[in-house]
Amino acid sequence: MLQSIHSTLAYAVLAVLVLAVINAFLGLSAKRNFTSKDRSISLIALIFSHIQLLVGIVLWVESPIGKAGLSQMSNSAIRLTAMEHPLINIIAIVLITIGWSKHKKEESSNGKFKKIGIFYTLGLLLILSRIPWTNWMA
């Protein structure tokens, strides 16, 4: 059941992260004011990514791959799900969180959009790089 929740929630996380990144770069290029709508989109992306992280950590701790997979690092599929996917996604969510924190300290709308755009994009790219696509699309 946790695996199903984690996989389903991943679609929502990716969608809202893509929306936040596009919104940030559109706001930056249009030089518009950072509004409560922009803040809400970014905050929802932050919240969804943190929920996904928590579900993923519980899944990793409870799964056989999390427990025994670390001893089987020579198998690339097991290494991806046991080590690379969790580690890179933790780094990605840390970057997203840094972007959220840095945007709050910015005075200008341009700076707010830039911080969200850069850090959320880096987080999104890291997440996309470590999705176990063969498992996910099956």
Helix (H, G, I), strand (E, B) or coil at 106: coil
> What six digits make up the tokens of 129?
């790089």
Please name the residue that has the structure tokens 């080590």. Answer: 83
- pLDDT for the residue 68: 63
- pLDDT for the residue 124: 97
Segments forming the whole domain that contains residue 23: 2-136
C-alpha distance from residue 134 to each of 15, 62, 138 (Å): 20, 22, 6
Domain count along the chain: 1
- pLDDT for the residue 6: 87
- pLDDT for the residue 26: 97
Contact present, 70 and 83 (Cβ < 8 Å): yes
Burial of 137 (0-12, 13-18, 19+ CB in 10 A): exposed
pLDDT values of the chain reduced to their tens digit, one per residue, 138 residues = 888 888 889 999 999 999 999 999 999 999 999 999 999 999 999 999 999 999 999 988 887 776 666 666 777 777 777 788 889 999 999 999 999 999 999 999 999 999 999 999 999 999 999 887 776 666
- pLDDT for the residue 138: 63
